[in-house]
């Protein structure tokens, strides 16, 4: 079987979809023996040695580019062999990748092709394994329209020609088992696209990545998976306390000596203690999937299956999660399936076509951020994304996801002008493919991990975000309440003299509060890009007054129905706007007013977690009732939250004016009431000017209730009261 000139050229150029057709060892038939060919650019001599005998055969160079061949007439069937290559500068012993059958069959990728494989990472990417009795690495990449794909990496000295991959056919994947590749080595795929452009690509299923400025994938062990350190309690996030500390790891705290962000291992020592002291139930990390551009904060992902290299290894990240969970802190990560960057080395035009993104820019380009939108109608893309989420649950044992930019996924006209978007098949602006994907995602993660939490960052009134897919919903457990956040911050950023004209911004949120299972969130988005810090949104001249207003705002957030999220630095009144390139101003905690703010948050979290009804009724409409929501002139606001028993009732009295208010407040239960928390207490660096903390009801109606209480609330403060047991 003599190779033709065109066949030799196809091997040399890598344009042959099945290099194993000619490379490796093949039976010549008719008793003519076997032929072995190998492709080793740069080699001067190659000797083939039988693994089961002492026989050795010198191979002939049949093309100067590095193609060698030997015919062994006495052997009638292929046998196991090794190769010995001699180069101008050295030599090596190696096993021929082209002597192995495929490590993955096309039929095994059916689920990936049809969009229902939740763990495609067990087949695609670089997977160390024993194949045909030999330890090596299986490489599989999806590139259906590519003209050729070469594997390059440390294991072949980044030779751009030596390892052409085999096309597996209709599944659209390319495969190569490399027996001399091993864990820790870097690699890329060199893809000749359908458009004739040659691109070096990182692995979409990359398990680990090298440090910047490089972007190569790194072979890593995929057999090590961990379970959550928190035993499953089958808790319902809708009824359990959920108080989330949102943070960007790179700008939380710097090492005192190196002046660099704390590593995963350093955070594993510091962060659990800090969060336990403050009483948070969960921590939420801004995206920790691999990303190249620091100023994106992780929201422009290039490695959906890998933790970022910035703070340590994946094993170090596991240690951080483990320590947090052992301390009772759940771990939520931001996950970004809405868009991805157009970096040439990553997903964009991966095989010379719009493989992961839409071809039509009206769907494929993200108008607001200049990034690319996933093609949710493509089954493999859905499997890729859902596999990413499952991998974070399997591999790291995280407790949940906050899904970023959901609104941009739901609407075809999001941030687009007329003529820049294409209606769906029914003429509407809903992205039906994205909606189906979101439902599939939530169903998948909850079926695999029933206790997982999924939170939507969704800024519109799209219906049934937190209803299950079985009843027509999207399946999220919780949704950020963006409307309430904007309204309330708008009120507090208004000067006191004008607040009476903004009173509806405090009350309007109650109209829709129970339409979804909301999280009341003051997030990173509100303290960056010129918006100022949370404490500096308080429109007052003096710093102590701004801190007093922030204490009142946090008390309103924690007593209002819904779960809680607060961005780092807000807990102690960071004056400066958040900067991802510098640490928080921890020195502020040397000042009593900032210490007091932190102490208040600690006590709010303690009450929220320990009160028998507080968190339980976060999403129960008939457990909330206004006392007085109409006192715009007095700038007060008061409401009740009911529990199972009268003594579970919480009364919240707010005074957002610059004067102490003493008035009568309606009360549902007769008896003696006590103040559980006063944001103006000296314990929080307040004045304590409201006076008494225990009161008895009077027996005539007030605020449409059977009895009332008469007490004062200091300026810019909130008092929380409960009924004493009789």
Q: What share of the chain is helix, strand, coil (3-state, %, to 5)?
A: 25, 25, 45
Closest Cα to residue 83, out of 38, 31, 150, 26? 38
CA distance 547 to 574: 10
The total number of residues shown for the chain amounts to 726
CA distance 246 to 670: 41
Output the CA torsion sign for 502, 504, 507, 508: negative
Active site residue 544: no
Question: Are 436 and 378 in contact, with CB atoms under 8 Å apart?
Answer: no
CA distance 517 to 155: 51
Tokens (6 digits) for 250? 């790179």
Q: What is the DSSP letter of 2?
A: P
Tokens (6 digits) for 692? 């008494």
Sheet with 166-167, edge to edge strand ranges: 125-131, 134-142, 173-178, 166-167
Q: What is the CA radius of gyration of the chain?
A: 31
Extract the runs of DSSP E, i.e. beta strands, from 408-525.
453-456, 478-480, 518-522
Question: Are 565 and 244 in contact, with CB atoms under 8 Å apart?
Answer: yes
Of the listed 394, 404, 516, 571, which one is catalytic?
A: 404
Tokens (6 digits) for 76? 């009638």
Of the listed 117, 399, 457, 618, which one is catalytic?
A: 457
What is the three-class DSSP state of 472? coil
What is the three-class DSSP state of 128? strand
Active site residue 404: yes
Helix (H) or strand (E) segment spanning residue 387: helix 379-391
Question: Are 70 and 62 in contact, with CB atoms under 8 Å apart?
Answer: no
CA distance 92 to 90: 7
Give 89's strand partners: none
CA distance 289 to 208: 10
Q: Which residues are catalytic?
A: 404, 457
């Amino acid at each position: 079987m003599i190779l033709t000139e065109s066949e030799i050229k196809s091997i040399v150029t890598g344009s042959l979809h099945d290099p194993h057709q000619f490379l490796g060892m093949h039976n010549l038939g008719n008793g003519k023996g076997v032929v072995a060919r190998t492709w080793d650019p740069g080699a001067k001599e190659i000797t083939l040695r039988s693994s089961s005998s002492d026989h050795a055969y010198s191979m002939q160079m049949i093309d100067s580019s590095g193609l060698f061949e030997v015919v062994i007439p006495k052997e009638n069937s292929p046998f196991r062999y090794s190769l010995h290559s001699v180069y101008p500068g050295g030599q090596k012993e190696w096993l021929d990748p082209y002597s192995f059958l495929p490590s993955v069959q096309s039929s095994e990728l059916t689920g990936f092709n049809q969009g229902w494989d939740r763990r495609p990472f067990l087949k695609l990417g670089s997977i160390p394994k024993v194949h045909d009795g030999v330890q090596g690495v299986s490489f599989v990449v999806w590139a259906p329209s590519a003209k050729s794909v070469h594997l390059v990496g440390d294991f072949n000295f980044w030779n751009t020609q030596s390892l052409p991959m085999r096309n597996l056919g209709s599944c659209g994947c390319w495969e190569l088992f490399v027996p001399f590749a091993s864990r820790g080595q870097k690699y890329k795929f060199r893809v000749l696209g359908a458009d004739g452009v040659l691109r070096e690509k990182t692995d979409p299923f990359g398990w680990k990545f090298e440090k910047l400025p490089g972007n190569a994938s790194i072979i890593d062990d995929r057999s090590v998976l961990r379970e959550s350190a928190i035993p499953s309690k089958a808790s319902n996030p809708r009824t359990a306390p959920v108080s989330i500390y949102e943070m960007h790891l790179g700008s939380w705290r710097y090492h005192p000596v190196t002046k660099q962000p704390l590593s995963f291992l350093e955070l594993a020592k510091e962060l659990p203690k800090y969060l336990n002291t403050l009483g948070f139930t969960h921590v939420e990390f801004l995206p920790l999937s691999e990303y190249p551009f620091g100023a994106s904060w992780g929201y422009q992902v290039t490695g959906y299956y890998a933790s970022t290299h910035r703070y340590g290894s994946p094993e170090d990240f596991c240690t951080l999660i483990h320590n947090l969970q052992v301390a009772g802190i759940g771990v939520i990560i931001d996950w970004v399936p809405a868009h991805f960057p157009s970096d040439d080395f990553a997903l964009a035009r991966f095989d010379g076509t719009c493989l992961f993104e839409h071809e039509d820019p009206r769907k494929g380009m993200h108008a607001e951020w200049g990034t690319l939108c996933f093609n949710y109608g493509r089954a493999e893309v859905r499997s890729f994304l859902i596999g990413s989420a499952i991998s974070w649950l399997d591999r790291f044992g995280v407790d949940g996801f906050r899904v970023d930019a959901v609104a941009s996924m739901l609407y075809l006209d999001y941030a687009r002008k007329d003529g820049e978007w294409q209606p769906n098949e029914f003429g509407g602006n809903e992205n039906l493919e994205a909606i189906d994907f979101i439902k599939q995602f939530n169903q998948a993660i909850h079926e695999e991990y029933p206790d997982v939490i999924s939170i939507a960052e969704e800024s519109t009134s799209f219906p049934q975000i937190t209803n299950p897919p079985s009843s027509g919903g999207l399946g999220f457990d919780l949704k950020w309440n963006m409307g309430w956040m904007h309204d309330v911050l708008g009120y507090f950023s208004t000067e006191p003299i004008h607040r009476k004209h903004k009173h509806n911004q405090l009350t309007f949120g109650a109209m829709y509060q129970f339409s979804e299972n909301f999280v009341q969130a003051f997030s990173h988005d509100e303290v960056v890009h010129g918006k100022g810090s949370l404490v500096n949104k308080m429109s007052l001249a003096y710093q102590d007054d701004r801190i007093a207003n922030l204490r009142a705002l946090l008390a309103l957030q924690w007593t209002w129905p819904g779960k809680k999220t607060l961005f780092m630095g807000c807990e102690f009144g960071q004056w400066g706007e958040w900067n991802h390139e510098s640490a928080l101003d921890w020195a502020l905690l040397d000042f009593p007013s900032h210490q007091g703010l932190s102490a208040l948050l600690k006590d709010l979290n303690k009450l929220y977690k320990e009160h028998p009804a507080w968190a339980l009724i976060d999403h129960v409409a008939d457990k909330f009732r206004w006392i007085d929501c109409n006192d715009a002139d007095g700038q007060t606001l008061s409401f009740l939250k009911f529990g199972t028993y009268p003594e579970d009732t919480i009364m919240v009295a707010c005074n957002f004016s610059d004067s102490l208010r003493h008035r009568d407040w309606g009360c549902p239960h007769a008896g003696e009431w006590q103040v559980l928390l006063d944001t103006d207490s000296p314990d929080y660096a307040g004045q304590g000017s409201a006076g008494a903390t225990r009161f008895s009801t009077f027996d005539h109606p007030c605020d449409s209730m059977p009895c009332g209480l008469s007490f004062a609330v200091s300026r810019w403060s909130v008092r929380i009261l409960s009924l004493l047991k009789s």
